Amino acid sequence: MSSTDSSWARGRFAQSLKHGALKVYTGRRKVATVTAAVLAIGLGYHVVFGHNGLIVYKQKRDEAISLENQLQALRRENDGLKDHTERLQSDPNAIEHQAREELHYTRPGEVIFTLPSPPPAEKQGTGSASNQ
């Protein structure tokens, strides 16, 4: 082998090494990009659909609003019942009204007429043979 052949072989070897290093670098870069993309997609999925994700957060927020509305309605009902109790404890007219309404008490000489309650409204059928 001559010196030109050996320098040519060294150059070829160096070029081959550079080409191999470039392939490794490019492959490593592609793997890193794909890994980062998969992690980003996984994180995004977890944020939206995860155990404490946006979907669960919206459901919990709606549930909290519903419970707050129920709480306000119960507080109003409680206040009304407290007022009614206070009136029954202090107002003789309220006591008389309650006794007349619930127990059907009357004053001497009065007559109570009780009308029958209306029959419950029948629900419309969804297409039974009797409706046709």
**What pLDDT was estimated at residue 60?**
95
Q: How confident is the model at residue 38 (pLDDT cuts 50, 70, 90)?
A: very high
63: its two tokens: 């549930």
Q: What is the pTM of this model?
A: 0.49
pLDDT over 60 (residue 130): no
pLDDT over 70 (residue 131): no
SS3 114: coil
Mean pLDDT for the chain overall: 84
**What pLDDT was estimated at residue 123?**
64
SS3 111: coil
Instruction: Tell me phi and psi for residue 106, to 5 degrees.
Output: -135, 160
- Give the residue among 48, 67, 68 at the shortest CA–CA distance from 58: 48
**What pLDDT was estimated at residue 126?**
55
Residue 8: CB atoms within 10 A of its CB come to 12
